[in-house]
Structure 1
Amino acid sequence: MRNDRPGYQYRAKRDGTRVHYWNPQRAVKGASSALSIIRLPDDFTEEQICAECQRLTTQLRPEVRNAGNAPVFDGTISSLIKCYRHDKTSTLHGVKHSTRIRDYEPSLRILDKNVGDRDINALRASDFTRWFNGWRKKGKHRRATGAIKLLRLILSYGAGERLRGCKDARAILADMRFEQPAPRDVFMTYEQCLAIVKKSAELGCPSIGFVEAVKFETALRRIDVIGEWAPSEEGGPFKWTGLTAPRDLSRDMILSIKTSKTGAPVARDLKSYQLVVEALKAYSLPDIGPLVIDEDYGKPYWENRYATKFRTVRDAAGVPDNVWSMDTRAGAVSETVEATGSIEMASDLATHTTTKMTKKYSRGDRLETSRKIAEARNAKRK
């Protein structure tokens, strides 16, 4: 067993290559199970993997040793992040586990790694501008925006706790505006989703086709279809919650749930959807238990495992790599708007509370919608 890369683990892909990870529980004994596994860059060399595993482990050890003690604020951004993570009253502990892992933690790591040693009391507007521009130049505009968003949050937390320098730094940042990344204009089409459904069956992972078909036809979010693994509030073992049979899916194929984001009740007749019917030619629904199972492990999907397998199927199906799994929902909304000419119907399908949000999901040039509108106006004139 090698000891020069603590916490290292990998997953072999179908083509023989490896995906590299650093697992905090493997790296340091006693590390909380609530800590997320970090995926290392695919192009890392052996030396870079060792160096990064050692760096992350060295950073984690004192945190584990002091886990029972509240961190001490010494005026730096890094110490503020530690306080923010430790304090159960902070906003970090009020968001869903998936949101924390997907949005909060990556941005906090960027802040800690790049500017963690900076004295908050000495920060100026020019610092914030320089940091944002530097992160954005690396081709990570969305990540730069996310880091600034989390910086606002932790400074607000620090100001509320009356920590030195946080109130003034927050006031400076509050008056600043940063260029937002362009909204995504990509959406999955029916033809692309159908190709993914068929290819997933060929590759022996029809669960991917089933999930994407359900998302495209119902406009449900992925987490509402595959469920979620999350630790208990006490940081204990991860538990899965999600769609199960027969609780959420009746024998006559009526899916009834409450969405994870808004709690809105949703009922969908799966047998009325062409793509779902096609997907079910290869995917067998269980009579009891979780509806969606990862064929490789015989358990419900973890978020990162689903995303990885989706990309494999998408690429094999010939769908462009700029089409993401998240774009299936946008495809559902866009097709509904084009087919009906009604943003309200699309909003109802997507369970949006306002049509303003629906318009963000409705992509494309609206050509067919404009034609339907023109036909309706012409008919009225006659």
Structure 2
Amino acid sequence: MVGTGRRFALTSIHDMVCPLARHSRLMARKISMPSHLDAPGLKRRRNPKGADRIYWFATHKAVQAGFRPSVVRLPYDLDEPDHRLLIEGACIRLQTEMLAHLSGQRRDKAAFDGTILSLSRRYQTDPASPYRRLKHNSQRADFYVLRQLDRAVGNRQISAIKIGDVQRWYDVAKRSARPGGPERVRKAWGLIKKLRELCSYGVMAELPGCERLHTILRHARFPQSARRRVVMELHHVEAFIPQAIKMGRPSLALGTALQFETAMRQKDVIGEWAPVPEGSAFVPDAFVLNGREWGRGLSWEDISADLIIRKATTKTGAFAAHDLKLCPLVLDLLERAPVEQRHGPLIIDENAARPYAESAYGREWRIVARAAGIPNEVWNMDARAGAITEAENAGADLDHIRSAAAHSQASTTQRYSRGALGKSQKVAELRLAHRAARGKA
């Protein structure tokens, strides 16, 4: 993202993610400074066009300690006598803030000073903020995007942002990470979406300037990445399962079979790791890893004696039920499990003897998938779309598919149906029958 703010400017994606790089790059073009100014941290630099500019620089120690901004361009001219006192005042103020940071006397993170950074901090700390009501995994994903915004344009004054600034940030954020690589449209759109959400919160919190920018962003349109069209098909699953068993990964085989046969989300099958609630009672059989406790995944106890699974989904809480007697890929794998191991979590990492940690399931799944000859563009998450697409191709009623997938709306189910022919074939058959009937009349 590129933006020139009241206090600093970012000139490249590299600067956006690495303030130290910009700090060092500007330091390399040092030229002489007047010695009679009381302006700590002041340095003069010559830009590529040969023009002299003046900047305040934080010390390397302060930058390493996380102080931002590390470099501030000052909008003054050393050759103007009237500007000398302004330069000294700005440098002394910035130097004082830096020293306070180093001494641990940080400013109130919840204070709003009109910048995107202060809005972001308020959004994350205000008990009334929607951020505080998100699930732990959604908060973690939000924080990652917020940190990108903070680093890139955090010091921009909200009241000074124009639509041209936002468009420029979007254009730079979507640039390919490498020459000839694909544009990162999803990332760019996500950053703008998060900026909209920040401003929406700012409107609710009655923070100055947020309503104006929120109005601009509400009317602005930015291209999104195309919806995913890849599906996992039956032949992919049939190739994956024996390869996983061969590689000593029956858990991956069973997890994939369950996802494809039942259209359950990966998280509903393998579970998730959530922070252990404060004051919660100790549970002897619980799996705890780095302060997080496993839960909400399938367990052997979820399978009834007549091989029925009933489970509340993690995303919406909707109840899903599946008859595993009608899922031959799953049945075969369940029968392989030793009787003495049929308790606790259904999907256990063979190497760690516990449920898969964070992204380990997807990482290990890809290793087996490559060995099975499954294309890299087919992901584990595509099993759900594959199940829904196969069901529609088979002529299943859309509402029945929606119920099986535990969707609250049919429109969501339709988004998961990727290139299915079921409905179009049915329409074509009815049209042909209608033509035949008219021909005989």
Which TM-score tier does this pair reach, normalised by the shorter chain? 0.7 to 0.9
Partner residue in 2 for 1:159:
203
CA distance in 2, matches of 1:295, 1:264: 30
> 1:79-128, CA deviations, whole angstroms, 9 ceiling, x for partnerless residues?
221221122321122222222334x2232122122212211121011111
Once the 2 structures are TM-superposed, how far is the Cα of residue 60 of structure 1 from its aligned partner?
9.7
Partner residue in 2 for 1:99:
138
Once the 2 structures are TM-superposed, how far is the Cα of residue 262 of structure 1 from its aligned partner?
2.2
CA distance in 2, matches of 1:178, 1:302: 36
Partner residue in 2 for 1:188:
232
CA distance in 1, matches of 2:300, 2:234: 29
Of 127, 150, 160 in structure 2, the residue corresponding to residue 122 of structure 1 is 160
More displaced, 214-223 or 305-314?
305-314
Say which SS state the counterpart of residue 311 (structure 2) adopts.
strand
Once the 2 structures are TM-superposed, how far is the Cα of residue 191 of structure 1 from its aligned partner?
0.6
Once the 2 structures are TM-superposed, how far is the Cα of residue 334 of structure 1 from its aligned partner?
0.2
Of 178, 200, 219 in structure 2, the residue corresponding to residue 175 of structure 1 is 219
**Rg larger in 1 or in 2?**
2
Once the 2 structures are TM-superposed, how far is the Cα of residue 326 of structure 1 from its aligned partner?
1.4
Of 97, 114, 118 in structure 2, the residue corresponding to residue 75 of structure 1 is 114
> 1:226-283, CA deviations, whole angstroms, 9 ceiling, x for partnerless residues?
1111114559932221235454222332211011222222111223212213433655
- Cα 1:91–1:233 change in 2 (3 A) is farther
Say which SS state the counterpart of residue 303 (structure 1) adopts.
coil
More displaced, 295-304 or 208-217?
295-304
Partner residue in 1 for 2:323:
269
> 1:176-213, CA deviations, whole angstroms, 9 ceiling, x for partnerless residues?
11112111111100110121222111111221111111
Of 300, 305, 319 in structure 1, the residue corresponding to residue 360 of structure 2 is 305
Matched, 1:371 2:425: yes
Alignment check: 8 A CA contact 2:262 2:322 kept: yes
Partner residue in 2 for 1:249:
303
Q: Any stretches of 5+ residues in structure 1 without a counterpart?
A: 1-47
Partner residue in 2 for 1:201:
245
CA distance in 1, matches of 2:64, 2:359: 22
Say which SS state the counterpart of residue 113 (structure 2) adopts.
coil
Residues 203-218 of structure 1 aligned to structure 2 (within 5 Å): 203-218=247-262
CA distance in 2, matches of 1:278, 1:164: 62
Of 249, 269, 277 in structure 2, the residue corresponding to residue 225 of structure 1 is 269
For 1:122, the aligned partner's letter is: A
Alignment check: 8 A CA contact 1:341 1:369 kept: no
CA distance in 1, matches of 2:239, 2:139: 33
- Cα 1:214–1:244 change in 2 (3 A) is closer
Once the 2 structures are TM-superposed, how far is the Cα of residue 289 of structure 1 from its aligned partner?
1.4
Alignment check: 8 A CA contact 2:120 2:198 kept: yes
Residues 275-290 of structure 1 aligned to structure 2 (within 5 Å): 275-280=329-334, 286-290=341-345
Partner residue in 1 for 2:45:
none
Say which SS state the counterpart of residue 256 (structure 1) adopts.
strand
Matched, 1:142 2:196: no
CA distance in 2, matches of 1:113, 1:192: 42
Partner residue in 1 for 2:169:
131
CA distance in 1, matches of 2:162, 2:402: 43
RMSD: 3.2
- Cα 1:188–1:296 change in 2 (3 A) is same
CA distance in 2, matches of 1:68, 1:298: 46
- Cα 1:245–1:323 change in 2 (3 A) is closer
TM-score by length of 1: 0.77
For 1:375, the aligned partner's letter is: E
TM-score by length of 2: 0.67
Residues 47-86 of structure 1 aligned to structure 2 (within 5 Å): 58-59=65-66, 70-86=109-125
Q: Any stretches of 5+ residues in structure 2 without a counterpart?
A: 1-20, 25-60, 69-100, 177-182, 281-290
CA distance in 2, matches of 1:228, 1:209: 19
